[in-house]
């Protein structure tokens, strides 16, 4: 093609409205942010094209966790109120917006309305490591599907695991146990599996084993912590942590390990608009 003809066609295309501009990312049609009513519960947060997005009773920590798809423990710094003051966010989602656009759209709202500024950084994060005692009570597997089956009785919870490597077990462990506990209890009494779990057992085989514990009403409150900060059950009941050690010869110990974290540089209460 003649060079002058090519340049002429390029100029013509760029002169057409819209072709010379970058495509703007999707944005909410309108946004309303205001403080929640007293004693508001955390509800909503579902994103659906052509509908209203409503998230009520959210702390700023909840919003950051939602917008960046991160658990609380990987969000660092920021003023104390980000974990206590609650807000409602109501917005209109345009038709045809894919779910993949939801996180950037919520991030943009937090940046505009809360003046949120963040950056990525590697930080020591409170974590669990799974350790093996001197005599782990695990049976070498004869094969079969690698899985754990959850069974809930009237007063006990059982996990029956078959052909389960330890590195896979720790990946699934948090999901299995988190269902039976409440929100994080903080660093002083880690009564929940609200932290990352890392396999440090040194066990390289695949095993068959079962673990049984009593969830009990005490797990829905802050349990008493033992000397090492782990949760202990009242007399006659066995906690998840105790069952791991007594029944399997394994132990969940707490450590701080380096993980990618989102650091809050600055954030402000939203201004009325």
pLDDT tens per residue, range 217-272: 444 333 444 444 444 444 457 778 888 899 999 988 888 888 888 999 999 999 76
149 contacts: CB under 8 Å, gap ≥ 6: 159, 160, 161
Structure tokens belonging to residue 154 = 């009237």
What span, in angstroms and rounded, lies between the C-alpha atoms of 247 and 242? Answer: 8
pLDDT tens per residue, range 56-107: 999 999 999 999 998 887 899 999 999 999 999 999 999 999 888 999 999 9
User: CA nearest 260: which of 70, 13, 22?
Assistant: 70
What span, in angstroms and rounded, lies between the C-alpha atoms of 267 and 73? Answer: 18
Quick one: pLDDT at residue 234? 44
DSSP 92-127: EPPTT--GGGHHHHHHHHHHHHS--EEEEEEEEEEE
Q: Confidence class of residue 193 from pLDDT cuts 50, 70 and 90?
A: low
> If you search the block for the tokens 């919520």, which residue do you land on?
106
pLDDT tens per residue, range 19-38: 445 577 899 999 999 999 99
130 contacts: CB under 8 Å, gap ≥ 6: 166, 169, 170, 173, 197, 198, 199, 200, 201, 250, 251, 252
Query: Which range is least confidently modeled, 11-15, 150-154, 238-242, 266-270?
Result: 11-15
pLDDT tens per residue, range 107-131: 999 999 999 999 999 988 778 889 9
Residue 34 and residue 272 in contact, taking contact as beta carbons nearer than 8 Å: yes
What span, in angstroms and rounded, lies between the C-alpha atoms of 12 and 21? Answer: 14
């Amino acid at each position: 093609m003649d060079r002058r003809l090519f340049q002429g066609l390029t100029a013509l295309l760029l002169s057409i409205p819209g072709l010379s501009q970058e495509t703007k990312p999707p944005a909410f049609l309108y946004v309303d942010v205001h403080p929640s009513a007293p004693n508001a519960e955390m509800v909503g947060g579902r994103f659906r094209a052509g509908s209203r997005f409503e998230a009520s009773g959210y702390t700023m920590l909840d919003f950051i966790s939602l917008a960046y798809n991160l658990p609380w423990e990987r969000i660092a710094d920021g003023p104390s109120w980000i974990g206590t003051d609650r807000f409602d966010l109501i917005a209109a989602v345009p038709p045809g917006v894919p779910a993949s656009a939801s996180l950037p759209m919520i991030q943009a709202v937090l940046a505009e309305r809360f003046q949120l500024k963040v950056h990525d950084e590697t930080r020591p994060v409170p974590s669990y490591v799974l350790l093996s005692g001197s005599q782990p009570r695990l049976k070498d597997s004869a094969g079969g599907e690698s899985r754990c089956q959850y069974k809930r009785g009237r007063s006990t919870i059982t996990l029956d695991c078959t052909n389960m490597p330890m590195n896979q077990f720790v990946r699934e462990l948090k999901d299995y146990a988190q269902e039976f506990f409440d929100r994080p209890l903080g660093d002083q009494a880690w009564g929940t599996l609200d932290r990352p779990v890392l396999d440090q057992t040194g066990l390289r085989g695949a095993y068959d084993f079962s673990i049984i514990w009593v969830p009990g009403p005490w797990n829905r409150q802050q349990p008493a912590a033992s000397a090492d900060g782990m949760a202990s059950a009242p007399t006659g009941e066995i906690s998840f942590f105790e069952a791991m050690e007594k029944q399997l010869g394994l132990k969940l110990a707490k450590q701080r390990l380096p993980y990618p974290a989102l650091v809050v540089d600055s954030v402000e209460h939203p201004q009325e608009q």
